Amino acid sequence: MQPPPFQLARTSAHAHRDACCQPTEADLRSSRRRARLAELDANLHCSVIGTCLSTGELRKLVPKFTDLDRHHASDLEIHHAAVELAIAGGAGAKALNKALDERYAGAIRRFDAARDPQALLDLWNDALRSGDIPPAYWAVMSHPHATIEVRQAAFGELHMLSHLVGAANRADIRRLVALEAENAGLRDKIERQQARLLELSAERDASLMQSNAQALQLAALAERKSDLSTAQLEAEVERLREKVEDGERRLALHTSRREAAEQRAQHDEDETRALRNKLGEAQALLRVVQAECAALERATLDADDQPDARQRAVEWVNGRRIVYVGGRPNSNAVLKSLVEAAGGELIVHDGGIEDRKGLLAAALPNADVVLFPVDCIDHDSMSMLKRVCERHGVEYSPLRTASVASFVEFVARLAASAQDTRASAPPPSAFCLRHG
């Protein structure tokens, strides 16, 4: 099962399956070396790669180890391929690890000063306050003294930052549109000012030429007419010099205004570039929402023609018991009827608002999977839910929202992942390279 793109899903069953062949945290600390990317928990790979490596770097690196086309593959496909390389280990994981170490060598040296988990957390908190998140995140995750609690704290802070970014996307898009319009207006204004400056420069040159010609004429006139006094000639020359100086002052004024306008335009271009980057992140979230809407629309349109189409939309739940924590009463009722119609069982718990939390702990041991929408559950219930699931070895995953679309899209993705796993997985072997 692949974790959703907006948050990682940890499963204790996966960790238990590979425990005999993976180095333990005590081994990494005792060896006093930094953890490699492939040695980290598989559920951390998505956040490390998505936060610390840009899409451009991944497009150069991932196609060397996969069949993806760097020019036509989507950003999501590149990201998923990089996560799969990190989980699989091998040459691809080594290349990703090398790229991270080379890019954040300065941060790694700075975090090497930490000799215990508390000092490591202090350095991480300093990086959060300064906003320098990607270098600090990789340095913390790969540090020899990084415990499970330290990595969970760093991952939690990164999760909350993603909430803030998502809430600001729409305001940033509106501001981007306004800034682009303002930028176009400033460009037009600068072009008009430059044209005006060229006209003023041409007028100044013409005035200088005219003044020189008049000065020559006056000099010739002084030679021809002895009755013209020297005082009158000097006054005329002084008047012409003042006119020239006035033209130069006007030219300097317009030049300073043009330079100020160019600086404002450059500042606006920088802000526009930053907002375009945020727009790209918003578009990635939009693609996730579109996938959910498409899954729900397929189930709805097929249901108009075939009565059992709704059951086939969630046929993966047939014979399975699902515990759904949180959500909204209206959507929960629809989900319950949908799962029961497909031959499954959906147990709904509100997380402790009206239902007792003890009922939740009693219902989890017999569940096949536990789901909870991250927008309709409090953090206390979510933390308690994760602890109970890990204690009983029950798989759990978050949903992006409490909507029916998120549930249908997640179940469809689970079914596709299970089918791919059955088709490509080799027969299981009981042989272990370490224990025989």
Q: Give the pLDDT confidence of 161-197 residue by residue, as tens digits.
A: 766 665 555 566 567 768 878 888 898 899 999 999 9
The confidence score (pLDDT) of residue 33 equals 82
pLDDT at 17 over 50: no
Angle (nearest 5°) at CA 296 between 10 and 12: 10
Bridge-based pairing state of the strands 369-373 and 321-325: parallel
For the chain, the average pLDDT equals 78
The confidence score (pLDDT) of residue 1 equals 36
Kindly give, in sequence order, each residue whose CB lies less than 8 Å from that of residue 133, ignoring residues fewer than 6 positions away. 51, 127, 158, 161
Output 365 or 24, whichever has higher pLDDT: 365
Distance CA 160, CA 174 (A): 23
63 three-class SS? helix
Contact (CB, 8 A) for 339 and 345:
yes
Q: What average pLDDT score do residues 322-351 get? A: 84
Place of tokens 């290349």: 95
Distance CA 204, CA 391 (A): 86
Q: What is the pLDDT of residues 193-244, one digit of tens each?
A: 999 999 998 999 998 999 888 888 887 776 776 555 677 778 888 889 999 9
The confidence score (pLDDT) of residue 412 equals 80
Distance CA 403, CA 412 (A): 15
Q: What is the pLDDT of residues 135-156, one digit of tens each?
A: 888 888 888 988 888 888 888 8
The confidence score (pLDDT) of residue 6 equals 39
pLDDT at 2 over 80: no
Nearest to 413 by CA among 402, 428, 425, 397: 397
Q: What is the pLDDT of residues 369-388, one digit of tens each?
A: 888 898 888 888 888 888 88
Confidence of residue 20 (pLDDT cuts 50, 70, 90): very low
The confidence score (pLDDT) of residue 16 equals 39
Contact (CB, 8 A) for 358 and 382:
no
Asked whether the CA dihedral 152, 157, 160, 161 is positive or negative, the reply is: negative
Distance CA 425, CA 199 (A): 76
Phi, psi angles (nearest 5°) of residue 396: -135, 155
Confidence of residue 13 (pLDDT cuts 50, 70, 90): very low
What's at 376, amino acid-wise? Answer: C
Phi, psi angles (nearest 5°) of residue 287: -65, -35
C-alpha dihedral, 330 to 335 to 340 to 345, nearest 10°? -110
Output 414 or 40, whichever has higher pLDDT: 40
Domains and CATH numbers, the chain: 12-166 (no CATH), 169-303 (1.10.287), 309-424 (3.40.50.10190)
Cα-only R_g, the chain: 34
pTM of the prediction?
0.36
pLDDT at 30 over 50: no
Q: What is the pLDDT of residues 347-376, one digit of tens each?
A: 888 766 555 666 777 777 778 888 889 888
Terminal CA-CA length for the chain: 28
Q: What is the pLDDT of residues 70-99, one digit of tens each?
A: 888 898 898 999 899 889 888 888 888 998
